[in-house]
Structure 1
Amino acid sequence: MYRILAAIGTDEDRALEQAKAIADLPRDGDVSVTLFHDFDDENPQGASVHQVAAVRRAAEYLEDEGIEVTYAEASGDAAAAILDTAEEVDADLLCLAPRGRTPAGKALFGSVTQQVLLEGSRPTLVVGAGRPSE
């Protein structure tokens, strides 16, 4: 079983890009994708990963492609949560879709993708990196 952790934000188009990129990967055996969403704050409304439209859109596409989907969620530091969840699910590959900030925005606010790439040790597929956020 090849395990992929896809960190999904709230942008449905970006989530679909991730799902398509995962489905396009060569598959010699079974593939399982854990769709992960990090709620920025402590999630006071008690939302679930299943309620995030972008997650649902990615799940529908992957399931239509015959790929097994599971779910995970966290609240707080997104990069740390992605790395922790990757460890928990023993991911063979991470799939991220950065927001496409300007270089100044990245310098001022940092980048979850950049932090995961620098601190992580797992192979990482970065999807749509050149597309500016809307």
Structure 2
Amino acid sequence: MYHVVIGIDDDADHALACVEEVANLPGDNSEKEVTLIHSFTDNPSGASATQIHSVREASEFLEEHGIEYDVNESSGDPAEVIIEFAEEEDADLIVTAGRKRSPAGKALFGSVTQTVILNSNRPVMVTGTTKRS
């Protein structure tokens, strides 16, 4: 079984780009196991990850393609959560979506994807976005 950890933010296009790339990985989809991770940085309403639109979209895609998955939710810094979870679970791959940001925006606000790439000792795949019409 090939275990993939996907960091899911609130953007459904990002989530779909990530799960589509996992489905495109070599091998049969029945040989893939995915953990979708959504880390709440602010959750005043007490929502669960399965209530987040992007998580639901990714889940539906994985179900339709016969890929076994589970959803993990936590709070805290998303990059740290993704890296720690992937380590604990001995994941084979981390997948995250990139986004276009200005150099100043990166310097001021950081980047989950950049932090995961620089601080993980696991392979990391960065996807673009898939725009739906």
TM over 0.5: yes
The 1-side partners of 2:35 and 2:122 are apart by 15
3-state SS, counterpart of residue 122 of structure 1: coil
Work out the number of aligned pairs and report it: 129
Q: Give TM-score, length-normalised by structure 2.
A: 0.90
Q: Does 1:99 align with 2:99?
A: yes
AA of the residue aligned to 1:18? C
CA RMSD of aligned residues (A): 1.6
**Structure 1 outlier segments of 4+, above 3 Å:** none
Q: Residues 1-134 of structure 1: matches in 2 within 5 Å?
A: 1-27=1-27, 30-41=31-42, 43-128=43-128
Q: How far apart are the structure 1 equivalents of 2:62 and 2:109? A: 32
Structure 2 unmatched ranges of 5 or more: none
Determine what percentage of the aligned residue pairs are the same residue: 51
TM-score, reference length from structure 1: 0.89
Deviation at 1:46, TM superposition (A): 1.7
Q: 1:78, CA displacement in angstroms?
A: 1.2
1:45 counterpart letter in structure 2:
S
Distance apart, 1:98 and its partner CA: 2.3
After superposition, give the CA deviation of every residue in 1:67-107 in whole Å (9 maximum; x if it has no partner).
00111111111111111111222210000002321111001
Measured against aligned partners, the alpha-carbon deviations of 1:20-42 in whole angstroms (never above 9, x if no partner) come to 1110110156110001101113x
Letter in 1 for 2:83: L
Q: Aligned partners of 1:31, 1:83: CA distance in 2, in Å?
A: 19
Question: Secondary structure of 2:101's match?
Answer: coil
